[in-house]
Amino acid sequence: MARGSVSIVVERCKACGFCVEFCPSKVLALSDAFNSKGYHPPHAVNPDKCSGCDLCGMYCPDFAIHGFRPGKADAADVAEEEKEAQ
């Protein structure tokens, strides 16, 4: 069972490869497919190994990818839910 997951905005990617290079679990690889800009975006080749650490997102200069841990709300989500509950 995957501990984390990765979300990729294919059209925002410029195929710099930072996400692939810095992924400690080797989850990502650049695709053979092209996005509409002519770049090869990443795809998850080993999604079950994803830890959700978000190093891919931290290194992405185009904010095209982020890792997350399913079921764990971030601080903004918790604050929003508390506000709605009042």
Residue 66 has pLDDT above 80, yes or no: yes
**CB contact set of 83 (below 8 Å; sequence gap of 6+):** none
- Grade residue 70 by pLDDT with cuts at 50, 70 and 90: confident
Please compute the mean of the pLDDT values over residues 8-23 and round it to a whole number: 97
Tell which CATH classification among 3.30.930.10, 3.10.290.10, 3.40.50.11260, 3.30.70.3270 matches the domain 5-85: 3.30.70.3270
Please compute the mean of the pLDDT values over residues 50-62 and round it to a whole number: 96
Reported pTM: 0.76
Query: Are 50 and 5 spatial neighbours (Cβ–Cβ below 8 Å)?
Result: yes
* CB-count exposure of residue 10 (10 Å: 0-12, 13-18, 19+): middle
